[in-house]
Every structure is written in C-alpha cells, then in structure tokens.
Amino acid sequence: MKLQDHELLKEQCRIGDSWCGTPSLEVTNPATGSVIAKVPYLGAAETKQAIEAAEAALPAWRGMLAKDRAAILRRWYELQMSHQEDLAAIMTAEQGKPLSEARGEVAYAASFTELFAEEAKRVYGEIIPTPKAGARVLVERQPIGVVGAITPWNFPLAMITRKVSPALAAGCTVVCKPAEDTPLSALALMELAIRAGVPPGVFNIVTGDPKAIGGELTSNPTVRMITFTGSTEVGKLLMRQSASTVKKMGLELGGNAPLIVFDDADLERAVAGALASKFRNMGQTCVCANRILVQDGIFDRFADRLAEEVEQFKLGDGTEEGVDQGPLINEAGLEKVEAHVADAVDKGAKIKTGGKRATLGGTFFEPTVLTGATTEMLLANEETFGPVAALFRFTEEEEAIRIANDTPYGLAAYFFTRDLARAFRVSEALECGIVGVNEGLTSSEMVPFGGVKESGIGREGSHHGIDEFVEMKYILMGGLES
C-alpha cells in the first residue's frame, strides 16, 4: 500500500507508553492473498499488563477537566480526517472494501470522535428534591473505570471509535483487542491518538490470541465493563465469562434484517434501498438486509430491476478505479456464503444472477440475487454476511411482519411503503432496535445504534452513547438543618 505517512503502519501493540511485542501474526490482503504486515501474537500476560497500565492511568485521566479531555478528542478527530487517505489505504489493504467505502468509513469513524469530544462536556449530574428535611440529594455520573473492548473486522475503524471515543470522553481508560484480520487500522488509530495527546495507558491495544486476551479481559476484576461487536455466539461467551466479576456489558451482535417491499412502494426507491443495505461492505455488516420480503403485486418488477442493478456492479481489487464490490474477508466467510446459496438452491431457490465464486478467484463471490427463497433455508435463519440478496414472496402485511419477527435476532429492519398509517403500524410491530422506512442506510454517529433479543445489549452513538460508560451515584447529604 502507498502511504504518505509511513509512521501510520504499525506492527507492534501499544501498552502504556510502549510499542511492544514481536511481529509474528501475518496480516493478508484479501484481494491478493499477499502478506502486507505482521503484528504480535500476544496473550493473557500482556493483556494483564495493559489492564494494569489502564488502571494506573485512570486517576489522572478521570481527574482531568472534561474540557481538556474534550480538546484531546477533538485533536484526535482532526488527525483522523487529515489522514483519511492513508487510513483508507490501510483499511482497503487489510479488509478489502473498495477505497470509496474505506474513505467513507474513515469519516464515519471520525464522526464518533467528533461527537464525543462534544459530549465529554455534557456528562451532567442532577439535584433531586430531598426526601427528608435538612438534607440534599446529589446525583453524579462517574466514569465506570477500565473498559475492555473487542472489535470486529468489518468496520476496522468505526467499531473502535464508536466505543473508545465515548469511553475516553466519560473519563474511562481502555484496553482494546481488534480483530486478527484487521489490526493495522486499529494501530494506525492508536498512533494518531498518541499524536493527539492521549496520555500513556489511557488507550491500549493488544493483538493476538482472542481466547487468551478475551479470557483475561473478562475475568480480571479491574476491568469493569466489556464492550463487544461481533457474532452473537462470541457475545454470549463473553457474557458468561464476565459473570464471575459482574461486569457491565455492551454488546452489538449479529442480525438477520428483513427488508420488506410493499405493493405501494416507490419501486426505484425500494431497489436503491435494497442495493445500499444488502451490498454495503459486500454484505458484511450486521445491519445488511438478510431477507428481502416482496409483496406479490410488485415482486416481478422489483426482482427484475434489482438484478439489473446488481449486474452493473464492478467486482475487483478495492484499489482499482470504479470497483464497488471487493473480496470477502477470508475463506471461512466465502465458504459460509457458498453454503447458504447451495442450501437455498437445493431447497428450491432460483439464481436470477450471480450465485458462485467469481472467476477472479480468491475470496471474490459474484453479487447474487435469488428468488423463491423460503423460511426453511439456512439464509433465512443465519446471517449470510455476504453479497446474496434472497427474495421471499408474501401476500398480506401481517404475514410479512410475522416472518420478519420470526428470528432470535432483532437489530435492524427496513420497509418501503407510501402509506403513512402503514409506516407507523409496521415500524411499531417490528421487533428490533433500528427501523429504516423508505431508507436502506440508517447508520450515523447521531443515532442510538443497537438491537434487542439476541442482537445485543446497550446503544452506541448519539448523546445516549456515553451513558454506557458511566455509573450513576447518588449522595444523600444530611446535617444541613438551619
């Protein structure tokens, strides 16, 4: 990868005031299979050191004036934006998303740091009318303390800043384990945090053995909160492991988003929304439309238009001009997509376009549209996490809502209609945390992102996002009789 600032390509972890660890874990470019860097493969001992560094840094950081923490976060935001090209180049090289999407993610990630630089100055308390004479009740919101963060590969920057920015803003300190597929983005972000003035030990990054690092983060009593984005399976494991020290949990887990197209929808708007939701990041987001339910009257027109647009996609290396679909993150991800398509076809689905590994080889998969999908198929019950638009036919609104809600997940849902009453009725009936009405993209730093059921606990982003990282304490101050 070509960088203007070569100092951003880091191959060591950050613990306290040191870059440390011997690079050994290979980081590969999913578009070419080439090794682009190595990072340390660390474990429990180094994680313990990082937790101790975070604990040592906590008193001074939480004791700093909120406006001074805010100024440091603001500088971090400005540095992310002024290094947007390099951060995007690193992301495309290790994650595969097209440069245009990577630039977008850099801005998206930086927007969380920008927002929480502002919110750092608004962690307000309150005074409650006293329940007894001669007393006062004061409520303080204090930083929860040392936070463990474990983040995924699909948004290598944004899922870190969406956690670390509010944590630091609240006065917490953090030990972060990025995904083994995409550590370089995290380490570049760390370099910029140092340049912004984040003091040693306030933000630490440990790369390596997920089980060992996660085991230490979830069992060490100094860590008071675990914040995780990733699969529901791992989220449940982290919950179990954290129970022994009763940690607060912030979990952004898997989804199985329905996207419903009603007969009265604006067809072109529904097609655009489905393309945006389904094929963003090659379908590798937890809010991607995973099941597309289309009412009988509009089904054929929608299926034809969607396939027409999907066939316009340019598949290739994300650094190439005009490419809008890159490779999947790894062979395991590709095999999951392949298995979902094969299972669907075995159970009667028809391939309208795509449907197999691309001739480009590697982990490239043809953007795909299937018709005839049914609820018996794997892709109806599991997150495909790939570029496969599975179309399900339905007749009545109640049937669509029942199908949409018939899943252990509840993160995002989308639907397209021009009927205002239906917009409210269906929005309120869907069991999820995020609803897009006539919109396929709903994420931003300004919204309280999160799910219900097995899609997670808590909300990230918006002014609510900082609440995850504070504890409320009330003080009954007596002896004030005049």
Question: Which stretches of the chain bind ligand LO4QSZO4, using CB under 6 A?
Answer: 154-155, 158-159, 229, 252, 285-287, 443, 449
Nearer to ligand LO4QSZO4, 416 or 449 (CB): 449
Closest distance of CB 229 from ligand LO4QSZO4, Å: 5
Identify the active-site residue in 11, 46, 94, 252.
252
Element (H, E) at 471: strand 470-477
Residues linked to residue 28 through DSSP beta bridges, in sequence order: 35
Please give the structure tokens belonging to residue 220: 């060490």
- Least distance (Å) between residue 151 CB and ligand NAI: 6
Q: What is the smallest separation between the CB atom of 178 and ligand NAI, expressed in angstroms?
A: 6
SS3 at position 385: coil
Secondary structure in 3-state letters for 297-321? HHHHHHHHHHHHHHCCCCECCCCCC
* Rounded CA separation 128/194 (Å): 40
Cα gap 337→152, rounded to integer Å:
18
Written as six digits, the tokens of 349 are 């689905």
> Shortest gap between Cβ of 154 and ligand LO4QSZO4 (angstroms)?
5
Do 21 and 42 touch, CB atoms closer than 8 A?
Answer: yes
Q: Is position 180 an interface residue for ligand NAI (rule: CB under 6 A)?
A: yes
385 binds, among ligand LO4QSZO4, ligand NAI, none (CB under 5 to 8 A by kind): ligand NAI
Give the phi and the psi of residue 124 in degrees, each rounded to 5: -85, 155
User: 211 vs 418, which CB is nearer to ligand NAI?
Assistant: 211
Of 371 and 455, the one with the shorter C-beta distance to ligand LO4QSZO4 is: 455
184 binds ligand NAI (CB under 6 A): no
- Residues contacting 88, CB < 8 A, separation 6+: 99, 102, 103, 105, 106
Residue 332 to residue 316: CA distance in whole angstroms: 19
Phi, psi of 353 (to 5 degrees): -160, 150
Q: Which does 158 bind (CB under 5 to 8 A by kind): ligand NAI, ligand LO4QSZO4, none?
A: ligand LO4QSZO4
Compute the least distance from the CB of residue 467 to ligand LO4QSZO4, in Å.
18
CB 289 within 8 A of CB 389: yes
- The answer to whether 286 contacts ligand NAI (rule: CB under 6 A) is yes
Interface of this chain with ligand NAI, residues 185 to 214, rule: CB under 6 A: 210-211, 214
Q: Per rule CB under 6 A, is residue 252 in the interface with ligand NAI?
A: yes
252 belongs to the catalytic site: yes
Q: Which residues are catalytic?
A: 252
Which residues form the interface with ligand NAI (CB under 6 A)? 150-154, 177, 179-180, 210-211, 214, 229-231, 234, 237, 252-254, 286, 336, 383, 385
